[in-house]
Every structure is written in structure tokens, then in C-alpha cells.
Chains A and B, each alone.
Chain A
Amino acid sequence: MLRIECPCCGPRDHDEFRYGGDASVIRPVHDDPDPEAWYRYVYVRKNPAGLHREFWQHVMGCRQWLVVERDTRSHAIASVSFARKSPA
């Protein structure tokens, strides 16, 4: 089982979270006319065997969206942070 160290709630079983996919994908600006940019945003993934930056939402806890760095070969978690920018 994965245990994710939620910055709000502490270490929790990953069953409390919902997976949100690759966090390195960047959405094009809304009026970007380039179909290639939208194709890449919707479909193309790096899918590395190794460290992967990904979204998880703590749906059964604080409901925060988190960015988790996890090794896809061992499930070892390197870091967890809030997905939103913290106010300065």
C-alpha cells in the first residue's frame, strides 16, 4: 500500500486519495489555435519508469490537490507538496 504524507493531515493510506494523473502536463492557453499543442495536452504522456510527478487529491480528508513525486518502479515517494501556489 502507498502511504502519502499529506501536508495538511499527515501520513494517510492512499485509499483516501484520488489519482489525478501526470502533473507535468501543461494546459495551453485557452485561445491557443495550435491543434498540436492541444493534442499533446490531452493525449501525450512521458510515462517514465522512474520518478513521476503526479496529482493526487485527498478526497477523504482535507480535499487538497497535491503533487506527489513517486518512483513508478518501487512506489517510493520522494516528496509531497500542495498543487496550488501557496500565498507569499
Chain B
Amino acid sequence: MARYSAFSILRNALSGQRYWQRAWRAAEPKPAYDVVVIGGGGHGLATAFHLAENHGIRNVAVLEKGYVGGGNVGRNTTVIRSNYLLDGNTQFYEFSMKLWEGMSQALNFNVMFSQRGQLVTAHSADQLDSFSHRANIMRLNGIDADILDRDDVRRLTPYLDFSDTARFPIHGAIFQGRAGTARHDAVAWGYARAADAHGVDIIQNCEVTGFVRDGEKIVGVETTTGRIGAGKVGLAVAGHTSVLGAKAGLELPIESHVLQAFVTEPLKPLVDHVVAYGADHFYVSQSDKGGLVFGGNLDGYNSYAQRGNLGVVREAAEAAIALMPCISRVRLLRHWGGVMDMTPDASPIICPTPVEGLYLNGGWCYGGFKATPASGWCFAHTLATGEPHPLIAAYGLDRFRTGHTLDEAGAGPSAWLQ
């Protein structure tokens, strides 16, 4: 695999851009692999890369039913942050942040990680108090966090509504300077290319339709291109975890819901940071093309349709204008829906499963993108050793039975209420 460098750009420029190699091979499936990872999204590809890179397991296939980058890794709002409160989450997401900071170098692929900082606005003294609590927890874990007062927020983001008529006046904000965004497609392509360079087979248009068993143990998968044997099978198919899990006999505490995201027409640079609205579920950043990228609430009922309905478009637009009246005349160019595994406590599930040979990585709710590198790292460890990585010890499936739920969102056991 040719490395990308300033020299390779120059050489290809001088030869008319005719000799670029394809980023990864179009692999034909072999009869069997040491590990088969189902799902060629960010998490599946990162898992395959770290299996090869960290554990030397190179006889690996990634099976993707569509094309690489066509699932949730290409259907999100690209925000990366590690401003979590609960033990188990703080350490995991900060580890992920550190991997993001070195990702372009590690993959030899520019994922355009932009640490522009994220602030979450506080709209009452009480909310600012709770943010101070969170900031203290973050700093005790070695994560950067600052509490801003109203004047600080105004200096950073003068375009928010600071008028006397603001519906929810801004009291301050919590700020994480290392948070930011990355180019989501590049993350998928970078991992695919780096995994391929280690010998991983990335097989697109290959849907898994069932599992092959030897007694109780899973020893392979049935696919639309035939049977593929596997020493171990890793499930990383966010959104459809229930569907594939059911085929393996898993009953999971997951509901699939659709979350929409939106892009406006391109504007001159306006939003320098990622801004989240503390009074409603709304957050916004500006893409390199100039469009404002934002998201809001779940549509709120079980759905596998990758589209939402107009009510949520209206709610998100209302929140946008309440926070940023200056964009009331900006046109929305497009919106899309991604299907997500909602767990009852809004935390993911990564663990070995009760089914021998099957490992689960799912239940990412709204927040799978920022977790991509750490999820791949820890899931690869779990697949390679059979034991959960210490950083995902809190993400086991049995936590719902034992009462050790990790309820970061404080939403209780009703996924549709999150």
C-alpha cells in the first residue's frame, strides 16, 4: 500500500493524477477466517484494524451489507467530545479522544479532526451548578473542562441570543476545548485502508443472513455470497443489532429509533465551535463547506426506516431559532435519518455474549461516532482475548440484571423517552 505524503501528492499531480492506487482491495471472501466482523461501519472497521495492529490477528474479514461508509458512520453530525459524568464513561470517552488526536498519523489518512471546542449553554443558575459538578469530575479524570460565565460565552459566540427577549437567557456554559468534529467518511475510509494494508479482507455487498453453529458454538456466518467460517464473530451493526442478534438467539434490551440530522445552505464562517443548547435537545456546528450541521431529538417510536417525519424538523428548527435568531432565514438544504440502537440507560453494550463464539458491540444510542476508535480498540481486545477490555467493563450485557446501569442521560428504563 503506497503511503500518502506531500511527496506522493506532488508526484501524482505531475503525472496527471492517473496513478493513484485504490484505497483498499475488492476482496473475495475466503472459506474461513480467524475473526469475522459483521458491519463495515466505523466501529467494525476500527475493530478489524486494531485486531491486526494491536493483536497481530490478520486473518480477518469485515462483512458489509451495503458499502463502506453507507451506514451510521456516514449518517451522523460528526461531533467528538469526552464531557461525560459517570465513572466508566469518562475514562472510555477520554481514551477515545486521545486516539482521535493521533488518528490521522496512525492511519496515514487525514480524517480532518478539528478541535474547535464544544460549549453547552446553561440557562439557569442550577444548570450551571450541575455543569460545574460535571466539569470537576472531568478535571479529576484529567479531561479539560472550563466553566464560562455569560460574558465569556458572549465573547466566544456573539451570534447566540443574548437579548432581553431570549426565551431561555444564557447564564453561562461548560466548555471543552479539545472537543470538535472530524470528516466522518474519511474515518471509515481511513480505517478501511489501514485495515486492508494489514491484510484484512473488506467485503462489501455481503449481507449476513444467519449463523453457522457447531453444537451451541457459532463457527461461521451464512451470507448472500455463501457460507464463511469464523473462529469468532463480532457483531458491530448498530441500528440492526436486534435483527442480527435475534438470528443468533440473543434477546437484547434495545429498541431501534430514528434520529434526524440537518444541513443548511452554505454560509460564511459563523459558528466557530460546536454549540449545544442546554435548554433543549439541539446542537450545531459548521462544516468546512459552510453548511450548518445540526441535530435534535429522536422521532420517538420504533423505526428501521432511514427517514424521519416533519414534526421533528419543525422542533429542531424552533430550537435553532430560539438559540440563534440570526439564522431564521437560512434555508435547510437536506435532512436524513439514521437508525440507532437505543438502550434503556443510554450507554453502549460491548461484551462477550452468552452465545459462545459471538461478541457484541452495539447500543450506541446517539453517540457512536465519537466512540469509534476506542470502541474498535476495546472490541478488538475483547475478540482477541475473550475477556472485556478494562475500559468497557461497565458496558456488559448483565448490568441490566444486576442493577449496575450506567444512566448518563438520566432517562430511566424507557428507551423511547430518551
Q: Does B6 contact A (CB under 8 A)?
A: no
Q: Does A85 contact B (CB under 8 A)?
A: no
Q: Say whether A49 contacts B414, CB under 8 Å.
A: no
Q: Say whether A52 contacts B302, CB under 8 Å.
A: yes
Query: 1/0 per residue B243-280: CB within 8 Å of A?
Result: 10010000111111000000000000000000000000
Stretch of A26-34, A39-47, A59-67 at the chain-chain interface: A39-47
Q: Give the CA-CA distance A22 to B252 in the complex, in Å.
A: 14
Residues from chain A with Cβ under 8 Å of B311 in the complex: 1, 14-15
Residues from chain B with Cβ under 8 Å of A54 in the complex: 301-302
Residues from chain B with Cβ under 8 Å of A39 in the complex: 400-401
Q: Say whether A42 contacts B309, CB under 8 Å.
A: no
Q: Say whether B300 contacts A19, CB under 8 Å.
A: yes
Q: Give the CA-CA distance A22 to B344 in the complex, in Å.
A: 13
Most B CB within 10 A of own CB, among A43, A54, A73, A74: A43
Closest to B400 in A: A43
Q: Give the CA-CA distance A75 to B302 in the complex, in Å.
A: 10
Q: Say whether A47 contacts B242, CB under 8 Å.
A: yes
Q: Does B413 contact A (CB under 8 A)?
A: yes
Q: Give the CA-CA distance A4 to B234 in the complex, in Å.
A: 39
Residues from chain B with Cβ under 8 Å of A20 in the complex: 416
Q: Give the CA-CA distance A23 to B302 in the complex, in Å.
A: 12
Query: 1/0 per residue B205-243: CB within 8 Å of A?
Result: 000000000000000000000000000000000001011
Q: Give the CA-CA distance A39 to B405 in the complex, in Å.
A: 12
Closest to B306 in A: A73
Q: Say whether A19 contacts B400, CB under 8 Å.
A: no
Q: Which residue in A14, A22, A35, A75 is a CB contact (below 8 Å) of B305? A: A75
Given A19-B300, A45-B255, A46-B246, is A74 in contact with B305 using a C-beta cutoff of 8 Å?
Answer: yes
Q: Give the CA-CA distance A22 to B414 in the complex, in Å.
A: 10
Chain B: minimal CB distance from A77 (Å)? 12
Q: Give the CA-CA distance A70 to B242 in the complex, in Å.
A: 17
Q: Does B14 contact A (CB under 8 A)?
A: no
Q: Does A2 contact B (CB under 8 A)?
A: yes
Residues from chain A with Cβ under 8 Å of B243 in the complex: 47-49
Q: Say whether B303 contacts A75, CB under 8 Å.
A: yes
Q: Say whether A49 contacts B240, CB under 8 Å.
A: yes
Most A CB within 10 A of own CB, among B256, B301, B414, B415: B301
Q: Does B304 contact A (CB under 8 A)?
A: yes
Q: Say whether A21 contacts B416, CB under 8 Å.
A: yes
Query: 1/0 per residue B382-407: CB within 8 Å of A?
Result: 00000000000000000011000000
Residues from chain A with Cβ under 8 Å of B300 in the complex: 19
Q: Give the CA-CA distance A20 to B242 in the complex, in Å.
A: 19
Q: Say whether A44 contacts B256, CB under 8 Å.
A: no
Q: Does B310 contact A (CB under 8 A)?
A: yes
Q: Which residue in A1, A47, A74 is a CB contact (below 8 Å) of B256? A: A47
Q: Say whether A72 contacts B344, CB under 8 Å.
A: no
Q: Say whether B413 contacts A43, CB under 8 Å.
A: yes
Residues from chain A with Cβ under 8 Å of B310 in the complex: 1
Residues from chain A with Cβ under 8 Å of B246 in the complex: 46
Given A19-B416, A21-B416, A72-B303, is A46 in contact with B242 using a C-beta cutoff of 8 Å?
Answer: yes
Q: Which residue in A15, A44, A74 is a CB contact (below 8 Å) of B253? A: A44
Residues from chain B with Cβ under 8 Å of A44 in the complex: 251-253
Can you list 19 contacts pairing A with B, beta carbon distance less than 8 Å? Answer: A19-B301, A19-B416, A22-B302, A40-B251, A43-B253, A44-B251, A45-B242, A45-B254, A47-B252, A47-B254, A48-B242, A49-B256, A49-B304, A52-B302, A70-B301, A72-B256, A72-B303, A72-B305, A75-B303
CB within 8 Å of B: which residues of A? 1-2, 14-15, 19-22, 35, 39-40, 42-49, 52, 54, 70, 72-75
Interface pairs A-B: 4 shortest CB-CB: A43-B253, A47-B242, A19-B301, A49-B304
